[in-house]
Amino acid sequence: MEVGTFPYKWKFLCQNDIDDRAKRTRIAILDLHSGKAPTRIDLQTSDSLTRLLSDPGFNHNPVHSRIFVVEDLSRDVIEALGSQYDIDPLFFRRHILDFLWYNTRDPWTELPNLAHITQEKNYFNIRYMVPKYFQSQESVEAAVEQLGGYNVLRRLEQELSWKVRKLRNIKGSSVGVLRSKTSLWIRKNKPDESGTLAILVVDPTLPEGHPLWGGPRYLEPCPSMHAPVPSPLPSNSHFEAVIHCSLAIPASELALVPDTPHILGTPMLALVAAEWITIVTYITTTLTKIEYELENAQYRDSSTGLTGALDRLHPLRRLMPVYRNMISETMTGILNPAHPLNATIGIEVSPVTKLHGDFNSILDAMDSLQVRTQNIISLATTIISIEENQRAMQMNVNLVRVTYLAVIFVPMAFVSSFFSMTPDLKSIEQTVWIYFAVAIPLTILCVAAADPNRARSVWMTLWSWIRAR
């Protein structure tokens, strides 16, 4: 294997960048014991990883649980771990790629597996979204450039950005949604292997931008006032946050790992669930703002107006089914209660089953938002139709007024032009009254011909007034 990053980037790299990407390594080896404190070994170079895995003193078959937490992926890391533990190459390949759709000529297209094959595999690739707040467009461009430095392929979507300069938003600020992925591989033990070995691959932390609303809250219950103060969740490093949560797995859950190995992935899944809750809250906020604009005429008449509301609604309508599919994949994959590695523990004690219920609640919220989005689109379309009809009615009224003006002045202009054909203007001083005597009745006659009903009403009113006199 020679490629150290996504192959599409290969032609844009110089030799020094290729060598750096091929050797990039950041790994933490966590040994989790149910009866004593966990231990951690950090590796920063591919050479140190190779030496450790080839060291005869390193026990590859511990009786306890062991997790390799890997940030990003590189050629040397894939070769070292893949050859040592006989890992399916698709585990790494599916983690590297990140496409919502494929072109017909894309050679890297990955078609989904059959359902029974999915249930039998021992690895899972979990897709999710991470919202980030950017104060300027320059910050967004810097974030896109930083994503290009990843070995894995990741994208920053701005279709859900709220760029309207009202409602206390900073001019030029926006929210970008980062497509992210985490992957978990669990070793299928052979007869001579007893411990549980897992490899958890996570994405690097994007330095640019800020976590939306300060980042997702730690979903653990609040400790007692008399309990020791727990260490805070690292907010500036996703890699360290995953390690922090993995080291905090209770001893009662570690005792269940031999029967339910997926428990080793529950700390990461809790962080993923927290990100999804933030996404749901952000979409709810966006829809509420759009509804507020639709209810207030001052926003409908602005430069953004109804067209701007629809421009923000259509990406939501397009992307929410994609988000729903990501959540559903997680529920039918690693969180599937019917999976052989999850079926041995009762529903009342299984952390995997509890997280399945949490993701089910998030899925229900996403379904509600999808229906709400479609309803708002229908409302906006109805408002546009009503306002178009109102403008058409106003144009008709204006057209009627122009018609009346034409009916009044055209006869006058005709009579004026007729009498102005004489070159001697003084000769009509005594006959100027004839102009009015002819033009006024002619105008009345034209108005009556243009609108007989209104003329009849005016005549009846005038006749009633004359009789009253």
Structure tokens at 48: 């140190």
Quote the pLDDT of residue 167: 44
Quote the pLDDT of residue 71: 94
- Biggest alpha carbon distance in the chain? 130
- The residue extents of the domains of the chain are 7-217+236-386, 422-468
CA pair distance 284, 290, nearest whole angstrom = 10
In the Cβ-directed half-sphere of 148, how many Cα atoms lie within 13 Å? Answer: 12
Q: What's the predicted TM-score (pTM) here?
A: 0.79
Quote the pLDDT of residue 2: 64
DSSP 212: G
CA pair distance 389, 380, nearest whole angstrom = 14
Paired with 115 in beta bridges are none
Structure tokens at 360: 């089910």
**Average pLDDT score over the chain:** 81
Structure tokens at 303: 């430069």
Contact 65, 254 (CB under 8 A): yes
For 114, residues 6+ apart whose C-beta sits below 8 A from its C-beta are none
Low-confidence ranges of the chain (pLDDT < 50): 162-168, 303, 344-347
Residue 197: other Cβ atoms inside 10 A: 20
- The owner of tokens 């990407």 is 21
Amino acid 296 reads N
Residue 227: other Cβ atoms inside 10 A: 8
Over residues 349-388, the pLDDT tens digits come to 578 888 888 899 999 999 999 999 888 888 888 877 877 7
Over residues 398-428, the pLDDT tens digits come to 787 777 777 777 777 777 776 665 666 566 6
Burial of 111: CB neighbours in 10 Å, binned 0-12, 13-18, 19+ = exposed
Quote the pLDDT of residue 424: 65
Quote the pLDDT of residue 258: 84
